[in-house]
Amino acid sequence: MQLVIVESPAKAKTIEKYLGKDFKVLASYGHVRDLPPKDGSVRPDEDFAMDWELYRDKQSRFKEIADAAKKADRLILATDPDREGEAISWHVRELLAKRKALPEAVERVTFNAITKQAVTEAMGRPRELDQPLIDAYLARRALDYLYGFTLSPVLWRRLPGAKSAGRVQSVALRLIVDREREIEAFTAQEYWSVVARMEQDGTEFAARLVKYDGRKLDRLSLGDEGTAMAARAAVEAANFTVEEIETKPLTRNPAPPFTTSTLQQEAARKLGFSASHTMRLAQSLYEAGAITYMRTDGVQMDGSAIDAARRAIAARYDAYYLPDKPRIYTSKAKNAQEAHEAIRPTDFTRNRAASGDEGKLYELIFKRAMASQMAAARLERTSVTLREGTGRHELRATGQVVKFAGFLAVYQEGFDDRDEDDGGLLPVMGKGDSPAKKGVDANQHFTQPPPRFSEASLVKRLEELGIGRPSTYASTIQTLRDRAYVRMEKNRFFAEESGRLLTAFLERFFERYVAYDFTAGMEDELDEVSAGAEEWKALLAQFWRDFKPKTEEVMDKKPSEVTAVLDEFLSDYLFPARADGADPRTCPLCEAEGRGGGRLALRGGRYGAFVACANYPECTFTRQFAQPGGEGEDGAQDAVLGHDPESGLPVERKSGRFGPYVQLGEGKDARRASIPKDLDDFDLEWALRLLSLPRIVGTHPETGKEIEASIGRYGPYLRHDGKYAKLASTRDVFETGMNAAVSLLAESANRGGAGRGKAEPIKVLGAHPASGAEMKVMPGRYGPYVTDGSTNATIPKDVKPEDLTDAQGAELIDARAAKGPPAKKRKAPAKKKPAAKTPAKKAAPNKAAPKKTTARKAPAKKAEAD
């Protein structure tokens, strides 16, 4: 019997169909072991010895593999054709050898596609395990462990609130933070454009002013309204004639087939998929035999695949769409051993596969691969110059027309933040023509800061800098979101305060290790290891020689010293210049109460960094780290709004972890209320209103029970007898009358939004692409979640429930469904009720059953199940 080991059961099922009865295919279900998450798993002082631990949930599965291996004559390791696949095969071999279950013949086979031809051909070309690839895996795993497990304790003790740092993760975070700084430092500049609306033979077109008063204009030349209006008047008064017509032919070639990185970017642009969702879908398509291996840096296609693509093009389009010669693309992979064929369909006669999101991704891959072998598109760009009689003013109109679509008939590549004005179609004009002038517009513009990163543009930037590898980008980005270092808003990354503080700490104390060139250089060295050109332990020794002393140096510093350094480093961000020229570090509370000497500085607390006054404890002013200049999200400073007329206590506006709020009193008896975002005119009156909630609207005419109006986690609402109804705004909480309240409660009940367990949806999405069921965003006991009626998925903290899109909802539901049903918690056996005392039982106390310990151990088992 010949035993074949692959990663997934889907892959095993597909391959088993292609092999004979003598083969048995088993899945390892990914990696089978890893470094235990504790100190000492990698020991630099022992020549970087590494301890490995079999995953608990893989023990029974690996026992099945070991039992089968004992009966096998030949072991075939057929995991994925990359570094991770090589590592899984190595781990399986090492574990089987340790258990003395390794067959005499052990061979490694790889295939780029799970088709019968690819699998059978690979079985005929076995090889040994690739030791350089294994060494590269060991080096990368040890580096990540040493970086994380050495640096993270420093963060916990010297930077309260920080969770962890990672070799690639921290540099990706720095990219996002650096972009945030660029945006904050950006000063918008006003400029104007003057555009004439022209018409020729019934066709309107736009012509931009490019020369005014004898001077050529660039984008910023018209810098104020006065100049723009003078230029507009000059254009309105002049008669323009066509002086020059320039036509240029353009050729646009197709993009190469997808690599891992370009697939992630394009799926984000065109389909709105996250990198992790894209990779999950691609994995499923690969294991189903629909596409080639999806982790690759290569852009080339196999010769037979190119021939198949050309045949498919010839069958669908006429001869003009097929170039005379096949297109050959050159791989950009730095390491040839890890440069596989590009991502493409395994069958070019199959233009559709799977359904839902998988089907959409397959269609994208299919079209991109086919377009890569099609003829170039031919375009024509026309530029028309119009001048007035004196030649001092000049207009220009541009247009572009596709003369032959070529590959554009199938696919057009997307771009991030592309600002390209190709213009539309222009009417036919000749030299000397005088198009009619329909009107002239002067438009105000402002220069824009660089855009925040989307997933696509972040992946592209990481690849450009050589940081990490495309196969790891999805997990790196997900880690940043899971750690709450960043959040996503409208598909753009925003740096959270914790991410910004962590980046500042690393830049100040570990500058070398978050430098872009250092991280990219480390990746190059790891590629050298995988190519067999560098020894992996020498690479680790070189890293450890400098890194370990640096961590010890920082650990020796006092937390107050670290905070003082960060206070100075972040001074411009935390304390920007004030409009009145006053000291930006002046405490607003001390200033308001006439107390001198109050200066603000960064402080470290149990739950993270914050800004506090030097006059503490006399002054209790504090604000969050993420509020430069003492301003919250709504631009207001912490302050005393006034005094409560009933108690005489001060009513204070404060900023907390979850946003701005008002407080009346101090200590345990203090009353607090969050400040809603829909109040533009917030003052003492509104503060007292909020603090008075809940408001009793009145008594329900049918039940005689009170109707209550208030504000909860998901906004303003009405409550009556355990049933709820949403209110549109904060003002409605105080203005809704009895008739309106009864009506709203009745409408909510009719929609199924009443009663315990029947909360009203926060948002209703579209149909799930696979199940077809309506998706809803719902409030839950442990936070908002999205559901299609059968699967509930928690919404990440960095995503606002109201902003969740259909694609994001489907992705979350699919990811939760892929994990299977949640493990049921094991409950402790119920204690038996003591038997009723009878004379017979009482006569034999020495025969009572011994106490069982099951119930005492139950809490531990319950924790393990969690």
Location of structure tokens 């370990």? 548
Residue 834 to residue 817: CA distance in whole angstroms: 44
Q: Residue 63 CA to chain centroid, in angstroms?
A: 37
What 8-state DSSP symbol labels residue 681?
Answer: S
Sign of the dihedral through C-alpha 102, 103, 109, 114: negative
Q: How many CB atoms lie within 10 A of CB 801?
A: 17
Helix axes 169-185 and 516-530, enclosed angle (nearest 10): 150
Location of structure tokens 């059953």? 849
Q: Which long-range contacts (CB under 8 A, 24 or more apart) does 738-743 make?
A: 738/697, 738/698, 738/701, 738/707, 741/697, 741/698, 741/707, 741/709, 742/700, 742/701, 742/707
**Structure tokens belonging to residue 233:** 């008047």
**Structure tokens belonging to residue 419:** 């600002």
End-to-end, the C-alpha distance of the chain in Å comes to: 39
- Parallel/antiparallel/unpaired status of strands 671-674 and 23-27: unpaired
Residue 347 to residue 735: CA distance in whole angstroms: 65
Q: Which amino acid is at 371?
A: A
- Parallel/antiparallel/unpaired status of strands 608-613 and 622-624: antiparallel
207: three-class secondary structure by DSSP: strand
**Structure tokens belonging to residue 781:** 């006991």
Helix axes 470-482 and 455-465, enclosed angle (nearest 10): 130
Query: Reduced to 3 DSSP states, what percent helix, strand and coil does the chain have, rounded to the nearest 5?
Result: 40, 20, 40
- Asked whether 757 and 764 are in contact (CB, 8 A), the reply is no
Q: Residue 90 CA to chain centroid, in angstroms?
A: 32
362 in catalytic set: no
The one catalytic residue among 147, 191, 293, 724: 293
Residue 707 to residue 719: CA distance in whole angstroms: 6
What 8-state DSSP symbol labels residue 722?
Answer: T
Per-residue 3-state assignment (H helix, E strand, C coil) for 218-249: CCCCCCCHHHHHHHHHHHHHCCEEEEEEEEEE
Residue 319 to residue 404: CA distance in whole angstroms: 13
Q: Residue 775 CA to chain centroid, in angstroms?
A: 21
**Max CA pair span of the chain:** 126
Residue 162 to residue 173: CA distance in whole angstroms: 13
Q: If you write DSSP's letter for every residue of 89-116 in order, what string do you get? A: HHHHHHHHHHTT---SEEEE---SB-SH
- Would you name the residues annotated as active-site residues? 293
